[in-house]
Amino acid sequence: MSRIGFIGLGNMGAPMAANLVKAGHQVTGFDVAGVTVEGVAMAGSAAETARGQDAVITMLPNGDILRSVYAEIVPAGEAGAVFIDCSTVDVDSARAAHEMAKAAGLLSVDAPVSGGIGGAAAGTLTFMAGGSEEAFAKALPLFEVMGGKTVHCGEAGAGQSAKICNNMILGISMIGVCEAFALADKLGLDRQSLFDVVSTSSGSCWSVNTYCPAPGIGPKSPADNGYKPGFAADLMLKDLKLSQQAAESVDAATPMGQRATELYADFVAGEGKGMDFSAMLPHLMGKGRR
């Protein structure tokens, strides 16, 4: 049994913390919204949550908040503890958090996740981890409770780099799939026929086979639930913006990533707010060629 502090008990953090409790760990939590999780002892502050723990896990909205929270919790950290940040943030903020932890003699891992709310609840998340071998080894048993797969991607910031690249691919591929279904409709091609071809041909990808944006086609997805978010469009936009920030910082050419960012920005500014990112399909269907 480990003593674990968990800061950020939102849609993702709460079920992750709950799974740690179910596995027999002693979990203390804190969230600025004052939410509670069954089996989690609630602390009065982030610093209190970090004090005396074997591991401290954070799941936070952005890099600025991560830096602020780390400035508060790192001084309270127990010698030898591992700090695990599961937020999706910019690479510079992830590395800054690592530096704060290192300066205090703490181990640290940046470990953003893939798998959404459903994966958090089921304990099947994929963790993309960056940090030293020692820090990763200490964090791994906790990843195995909360997830189904963990990849050690490299040193500090490598987990965030992997997440940003992965989600840039996802955003681009979902737009391509939505464009194909919208075009098929106008050509009079049956959606099921398109799925049957693409899902077993060279156009096959996760956005078709697992998360098809067309209702009633393929495995159940948010499209079959009125596009209620499994992965919200505004979160996709956040990740695409992070990809472009990273690309600019290293002078990498990402023209498709840039265009995907623009399209999701347009979508979220309109009817896409609060919708799943696959609702790009009805959004595109309402537009002509331009």
**pLDDT tens-digit series, residues 17-59:** 999 999 999 999 999 999 999 999 999 999 999 999 999 999 9
Beta bridge partners of 155: none
- All structural domains of the chain with their residue ranges: 3-155, 161-286
C-alpha 66/C-alpha 175 separation (Å) is 30
**Fold exhibited by the domain 3-155:** Rossmann fold (3.40.50)
**Fold exhibited by the domain 161-286:** N-(1-d-carboxylethyl)-l-norvaline Dehydrogenase; domain 2 (1.10.1040)
**pLDDT tens-digit series, residues 197-216:** 999 999 999 999 999 999 99
Enumerate residues 6+ apart whose C-beta is below 8 A from 49.
5, 6, 7, 28, 29, 30, 43, 56, 73
- The whole-number pLDDT of residue 289 equals 64
Catalytic-residue membership of 273: no
3-155 and 161-286: identical CATH topology:
no
C-alpha 47/C-alpha 185 separation (Å) is 55
- The whole-number pLDDT of residue 288 equals 67
Among the options 138, 163, 220, 287, which is catalytic? 163
C-alpha 42/C-alpha 268 separation (Å) is 34
**pLDDT tens-digit series, residues 224-257:** 999 999 899 999 999 999 999 999 999 999 999 9
- The whole-number pLDDT of residue 1 equals 72
